[in-house]
Structure 1
Amino acid sequence: MENSPIFKPLLSTTHSPINAHFSKNASDFVVRENPLYEFSGSGEHLIVEIQKKDLTTAEALSILSGESGAKMRDFGYAGLKDKEGMTTQFISLPSKFEQNLNNFSHEKLKILNTTRHNNKIKIGHLKSNNFFIRLKKVLPSEATRLREVLNLIDKNGYPNYFGYQRFGKFGDNSKSGLEILEALNCGDKKVFGKYNPKLRDFLISAYQSDLFNKWLSKRVEISRFSECFNANELKEIYKFDKQTIANLKSQKQFFKLLQGEVLGHYPYGKVFLCEDLDAEVEKFVARDRTSSGLIVGAKAYESKDVAKEIEDMFFEEANNFKHLMNGSRRYAWVWIENLEYKYNEQQAQFSMSFTLQKGSYATVVLKEILGRDIFEI
């Protein structure tokens, strides 16, 4: 997975790699979804809390479809969960199929609870995800380093990259997405027969995600260099004007904000342009707002000034296809919540748990923690 030829973004952490073994299995990688709202307990939609292991969300729904008689389009879910590991999430289906699930039994899929609600669950209808991760073969010296870097990430936050899962087993989803956009832009209708609509949209989103990761990696680089180099050296490297360099050097937090970038109220809320940089930096440090990156498309909120100049370095190539994508913004810098960790020296195991924003990847956090690709031994 991690050996595929996809772009590898720059980490915000700079420590040498930590030696620990990670296996994405049902005992060592556990995910629990937190719904966006409380379910009412009544209504025409059956809400089912499912626990799955070694199944994708689509595979789990296919099993439930075969058992209940509901069609795949009848199901609602807030997001796709990893195939590897143990994951718990909520799905919805019309309540008329409830009786067909009364005796449901499957070795890889369990129904934990059911209730009712008046709405179908839709993509994005989740608040956050809780993660549990266990690392093995951890020496005491490495456990000390893990504590230190976890405390650092807990304090500073981390770059909200898209994880490797977005880009496919062979890392070619982004390339396929670009090929689809080029074909659609030229009026080539063969692409409609080659990919079903959901797969087509997913591959296009992988292309958007790849551009986002490359842009965010540059912003992490600028933030790093702003701490390592003096003003004259920064001017030589980036050709920024004096005011931009002064703004970068004056910020004490790791991730540096830029004049004219699109910020978002945090942990949720509307986006807006950064006009009073000093005031916004204070609110960023207080975790009241954060930087947002472009998910390129026709309806995305545009940045200005130096922030736009940097975005254009990465997103300009997609301008010919903007009309084929809606576009949006994605938080660029986020924070973990509810961090806990424990080291069992006798078993040489280090366990951790934390909560992440919806759409954020625990594997991205783990990469920051270990300082390397997560499946390297």
Structure 2
Amino acid sequence: MENQGRRSWPLWTAAWPGVGGRIRERLEDFEVEEVAAYEPCGQGEHLFLWVEKRGVGSEYLLRAVAQCLGIPVGAVGAAGLKDRYAITRQWLSVPQECAERLGRLEALHAEGIYLLRVARHRNKLKPGHLRGNRFCIFIRGASAAAPWQAILEKIRREGLPNYYGPQRFGREGSTLALGWQCLRGQLRRRLRPFQFRLALSAVQSHLFNDYLARRQEDGLLHTALEGDVMAHWPVGGLFRVEDVAAEQRRLEAREIVPAGPMFGTRTYPAAGVAARREADVLRSYDLTPAVFAGFGQLLSGTRRHNLIYLDDLQAEWEAEGLRLRFTLPAGSYATVLLREVMKNDAVEAVPPDEAEEE
């Protein structure tokens, strides 16, 4: 049987029991609002549409808007694809010639799609044109007797390991299993391009999680290593650690964070001790860097923050449970935070991703 590696990751707040509870019992229990990389400037050849969807998948949203406006689905721009089982708000873009047809979108109200605002901008919205997502999540049936303050305080003080959430890998790991078949040339059926990309990316995500878990288990999440690849926080370029003591001070000041590998053909290379640790991850799966060649841009590779900081993490108790409010960078998973707070099977049962990243 092929090596698919571990299926769970260490908790960051394992010293305390969670609050338990349930999520997503109602759509309004899970709200997500996109934090744009930039605001529309008010002029240009593109219309930016601030849209709310309720219980609607992202692919369906794009198709429905395109069909209503009489344009190809590829003409609808989006910075990121949002959760289906939630109330979400985000920007879409369409060509300016759609302006006189925007009234048609009222027909989508019956399907849970609402146009809230319109503005003009110079460019089409493209994947990645967002800073992050703002969440408001209600945990029903949570226990106020649990040490929830200690859990949240550790996360506020020390940050949160930036694991991929369980939905990234499909129900019972089905997307990941498919990805291993794709990577190793064992796939016996043709996949849609979207499925193929998602499956391969699940393997990259799994390898990153394994790398991050090893680092956490070795007590190295807040340690600069020789040859580490660092990223400026919250945004900025990459560089390799040469002066360990100097970069350790910057890491402790939250100026930089280690950036782990999304393995691929052009992943920014680590060196020294850090490079050997990354090579050990691949070796444990009987992989070499050469396995990522031949997939073009799909496995070009990148780097991902090992840690994220939640400066606006808030919690308040209501009659039926605990409400959390926080903002995550693009690509980070709310379910990773919920797993730390709840510590039960409810998080593991969330629906699989529709998109590569939230």
TM-score, normalized by the shorter chain, greater than 0.5:
yes
- Distance across 2 between alignment mates of 1:340 and 1:126: 22
TM-score (norm 2): 0.87
Q: 1:166-225 deviations in whole A, cap 9, x for unaligned?
A: 111231212212222333xx9x9x86xx122222112111111111111111111111xx
Equivalent position amino acid for 1:50 in 2: V
Counterpart in the other structure of 1:240: none
Residues 68, 97 of structure 1: 8 Å contact kept: yes
For 1:340, the equivalent position in structure 2 comes to: 314
Following the alignment from structure 2 to structure 1, what is the Cα–Cα distance between the partners of residues 34 and 135?
9
The one-letter amino acid of 1:290's match is V
2:175 corresponding residue in structure 1:
173
Fraction of identical pairs, as percent: 31
The structure-2 alpha-carbon separation of the partners of 1:315 and 1:95, relative to structure 1 and needing over 3 Å to count, comes to farther
Question: For residues 115 and 210 of structure 1, do their structure 2 counterparts lie closer, same or farther at Cα, with a shift above 3 Å needed?
Answer: same
Residue 20 of structure 1: how far off its partner (Å): 2.9
Q: 1:89-124: per-residue Cα shift (whole Å, max 9, x none)?
A: 111111212322214232311111111111111111
The CA distance in 1 between the partners of 2:282 and 2:98, in whole Å, is 46
- Aligned CA distance change for structure 1 residues 59 and 318 (closer, same or farther; 3 Å): farther
For 1:350, the aligned partner's letter is: L
Letter in 2 for 1:44: E
Q: Could you tell me which amino acid in structure 2 is paired with residue 340 of structure 1?
A: Q
Contact persistence 1:139–1:348 (CA under 8 A) = no
Structure ID, larger Rg:
1
| Match in the other structure for 1:65 | 66
Question: In structure 1, which of residues 214, 219, 233 is the aligned counterpart of residue 215 of structure 2?
Answer: 219
CA shift, 1:162, in A, is: 0.9
> 1:102 and 1:337 mapped to 2: Cα distance?
40
Separation in 2, partners of 1:364, 1:152? 14
Instruction: Report what 2:54 is aligned to.
Output: 53
One-letter amino acid of the structure 2 residue matched with residue 7 of structure 1: R
Q: Is the 8 A contact 2:228 2:271 kept in 1?
A: yes
**In structure 2, the residue corresponding to 1:67 is in which secondary structure?**
helix
What code does the residue aligned with 2:264 have?
G
| Structure 1 SS opposite 2:315 | strand
SS in structure 2 of the partner of residue 84 of structure 1: coil
Query: Per-residue CA shift, 1:147-169, capped at 9, x if unaligned?
Result: 22112101110110111221112
Q: What is the TM-score of this pair, normalised by structure 1?
A: 0.83
- Contact kept? 1:13, 1:371, Cα under 8 Å: no
Question: How far apart are residue 6 of structure 1 and its match?
Answer: 7.6
Task: Find the aligned partners of 1:140 and 1:204 in 2 and give their Cα distance.
Answer: 41
1:207 aligned partner: 203
Contact 2:166 2:348 in 1 (8 A): no
Alignment deviations for residues 250-295 of structure 1 (CA, whole Å, 9 cap, x no partner):
xxxx633322111101111111111111211211121110011111
Match of 1:126 among 125, 130, 139: 130
Contact 1:262 1:303 in 2 (8 A): yes
Q: Describe how 1:19-58 pairs up with structure 2 within 5 A.
A: 19-24=19-24, 25-58=26-59
Instruction: Looking at secondary structure, tell me which structure has more helix per residue.
Output: 1
In 2, the alpha carbon distance for the partners of 1:318 and 1:123 equals 30
Task: Say if 1:53 and 1:87, in contact at 8 Å, map to a contact too.
Answer: yes
SS at structure 2 position matched to 1:119: coil
Distance, in Å, in 2 between the alignment partners of 1:365 and 1:219 is 18
Against the structure 1 CA distance between its residues 198 and 277, is the aligned structure 2 distance closer, same or farther, given a 3 Å change threshold? same
Mapping 1:105-254, distance limit 5 Å: 105=106, 106-107=109-110, 108-142=112-146, 145-183=147-185, 194-223=190-219
Change beyond 3 A, Cα 1:364–1:327: same
**Superposed CA offset, 1:226-256 (max 9, x none):** xxxxxxxxxxxxxxxxxxxxxx6xxxxx633
Distance 2:334 2:174 in 1: 22
Contact 1:295-1:329 within 8 A present in 2 as well: yes
- Whether the 8 Å contact between 2:19 and 2:343 is mirrored in structure 1 is no
Instruction: Structure 2 unaligned segments of length 5 or more: list them.
Output: 350-358
Structure 2 residue aligned with 1:319: 289
Q: Which residue is 2:79 aligned to? A: 78
Distance 1:6 1:218 in 2: 11
Q: Which deviates further from its counterpart, 97-106 or 42-51?
A: 97-106
Amino acid at match of 1:68: L
Separation in 2 of the partners of 1:133 and 1:68?
Answer: 33
Number of the residue aligned with 2:15: 15
CA–CA separation in structure 2 for the residues paired with 1:318 and 1:335: 32
Mapped to 1, the partners of 2:167 and 2:99 lie a distance apart of 33
Structure 1 vs Structure 2 CA RMSD: 2.1
Q: 1:16 touches 1:371 (CA, 8 Å); kept in 2?
A: no
